[in-house]
Amino acid sequence: MSAVTENTTPVKPLAQRINWVKLAPWLYTIGLFVAWELLVIALQTPPTILPAPSRVFQAIVQYWSPIWKNSLQTLYTTTVGFAIAVVAGLAIGLFIGWSKAIYAGLYPLMIGFNAIPKVALVPILVIWFGIGAVPAILTAFLISFFPIVVNVATGLATIEPETEDVLRALGAKKLDIMLKVGIPRSMPYFFGSLKVAITLAFVGSVVSETVASNYGLGNMMSSAQSQFNVPLVFAGLLMLAVEGIAMYALMAWIEMRMTGWAHRSTMSQ
């Protein structure tokens, strides 16, 4: 690097022309895999304990057909559960944020409900709906709708009192204030919560698939595990990570598109 600092010619050296910030996520990811590979080589861990990433990628290629099908199944249950959570979360959030009395009454119930581990609900869902996609969808829904509710309700509950006074003095009804101020105002909170909710939805669907389904990545990993096919288990984990990142990025993109005004510092630069 000392050569770089001494270089005074107008053509910038390669190291300065590269956008390191943009490249960083890829470099760090590659770095992680390289470190993992080296660790496995150094410790000589058997593939049944910790397979090297090269072995995991090999498993992805080898079992591509089941991995692909199960990935789509998990993506399907997650997205459906998440979609229900978005609709229900938005509706309940608006309902709770509507009045202080409803907020006060329902909030403790919501906290208590959220404190219940959703894994514990899977057996009940199985009793009601049998094994398969339905419990997975419902678990994804149950685990992911809470952050949406809380965020929408918070957005509504934190309207500036001055704004409310200005509008009420003009004769605005509660509905007017909600439509003109409350709901637009809670949208950044809502879209922000989607990023949290989608990640949780994956947790819910995979947990349910692991316990009570014949399809999906959760089921695939649990049967691979029972056959000591550890590379395939890791292949499933990798696919989940990829799906999770993709859906998160989609939510972040939607958030930017819908509520760009709330990210004004980044927009004005």
Which positions touch other proteins (CB under 8 A)?
160, 162-163, 165-172, 176, 180-181, 184-185, 187, 259, 261-262, 264, 268
Which residue lies nearer to other proteins by CB, 49 or 169? Answer: 169
Closest separation in Å from C-beta 97 to other proteins: 17
Closest separation in Å from C-beta 102 to other proteins: 22
DSSP 77-112: HHHHHHHHHHHHHHHHHHHHHH-HHHHHHHHHHHHH
- With CA atoms as reference, report the closest residue to 190 among 67, 89, 114, 68: 89
Q: In whole angstroms, what is the distance from residue 251 CA to residue 195 CA?
A: 6
Which residue lies nearer to other proteins by CB, 1 or 169? Answer: 169
- With CA atoms as reference, report the closest residue to 95 among 82, 84, 110: 110
- With CA atoms as reference, report the closest residue to 69 among 225, 220, 241, 234: 220
Closest separation in Å from C-beta 254 to other proteins: 16
Which residue lies nearer to other proteins by CB, 94 or 212? Answer: 94
Closest separation in Å from C-beta 268 to other proteins: 7
Which residue lies nearer to other proteins by CB, 19 or 268? Answer: 268
Closest separation in Å from C-beta 174 to other proteins: 12
- What is the distance between the terminal CA atoms of the chain, rounded to a whole angstrom? 31
Which residue lies nearer to other proteins by CB, 72 or 157? Answer: 157
Which residue lies nearer to other proteins by CB, 41 or 166? Answer: 166
H helix runs in the chain, sequence order? 2-6, 14-17, 20-43, 53-62, 64-98, 100-115, 122-129, 133-157, 161-169, 174-177, 183-212, 216-226, 230-258, 264-268
